[in-house]
A and B are shown apart, each in its own frame.
Chain A
Amino acid sequence: DAGITQSPRHKVTETGTPVTLRCHQTENHRYMYWYRQDPGHGLRLIHYSYGVKDTDKGEVSDGYSVSRSKTEDFLLTLESATSSQTSVYFCAISDQTGGSYNEQFFGPGTRLTVL
């Protein structure tokens, strides 16, 4: 299994509070992604990173920010959590071989509940 961990694994918070989720990898992969999973929507990309300090928005980035100061860590921050951000959050990593992108490997997920 790819070395990807997410912390915390479960979190309950209140509306309006800041929340930071951490993704840590030991594979030295260049690309990292944050997704949210909601019933009926599959996985939707929030933000992604293509290198240290290189990040960009995904499909559902409103209300979220990210940072990547080291290759191994990718942080997702909810500046002021809302109930609509209650979801399961997955981190994924990937790399390139010969100019082609490889498959993504996923972390175990973080279940976030915003009351």
Chain B
Amino acid sequence: AQSVTQLGSHVSVSEGALVLLRCNYSSSVPPYLFWYVQYPNQGLQLLLKYTSAATLVKGINGFEAEFKKSETSFHLTKPSAHMSDAAEYFCAAGGTSYGKLTFGQGTILTVHP
């Protein structure tokens, strides 16, 4: 069974600092990988997705993620954090069986002025 692990349930950064949110997946076959963002009291919004076309994936709001097969990782980064980035972020894997996804536990990002 597939599993997704997000290291760190809470990450705190200063405005303008690098954002790094970690995600590791377990699968013998590289799955499709996704990052979603959830703002308070809202549904999930797709940030970016990896579907084997390119290992470096660019998403919305300046975020990007790099797929590293050797490390089974798909970490999310943003060079400079903005106050509006404060939200909960979810990594997800799957999409090969009826489109089903397995989600990580989520990481709450706090951005300090």
Measuring CB to CB, which residues of chain A are less than 8 angstroms from any residue of chain B? 4, 31, 33, 35, 40-45, 48, 50, 56, 58, 90, 92, 94, 96, 100-109
| Other-chain residue from A4, A40, A44, A106 in contact with B9 (beta carbon distance below 8 A) | A40
- Chain B residue total in the interface (Cβ 8 A): 27
Known A44-B103, A102-B99; 14 more pairs at CB < 8 Å = A40-B9, A42-B4, A42-B103, A45-B100, A50-B98, A90-B43, A94-B99, A96-B99, A100-B95, A101-B96, A103-B34, A106-B44, A106-B45, A109-B42
Q: Which of B43-82 contact A (CB under 8 A)?
A: 43-46, 49, 51
* B101 x A45 contact (CB < 8 A): yes
Cross-interface CB contact of B99 among A4, A43, A44, A104, cutoff 8 Å: A104
- Taking the closest CB of chain A, its distance from the CB of B42, in whole angstroms, is 7
| Contact B100 A33, beta carbon cutoff 8 Å | yes
* Assembly CA distance A33 to B99 (angstroms): 9
Q: Inside 8 A of A42's CB, which chain B residues have their CB?
A: 4, 6, 90, 103-106
27 chain-A/chain-B pairs, Cβ below 8 angstroms: A4-B43, A31-B99, A33-B99, A40-B105, A42-B4, A42-B90, A42-B103, A42-B104, A42-B105, A42-B106, A43-B90, A43-B92, A43-B103, A56-B98, A90-B43, A96-B99, A101-B95, A101-B96, A102-B99, A103-B34, A103-B95, A106-B36, A106-B45, A108-B42, A108-B43, A109-B41, A109-B42
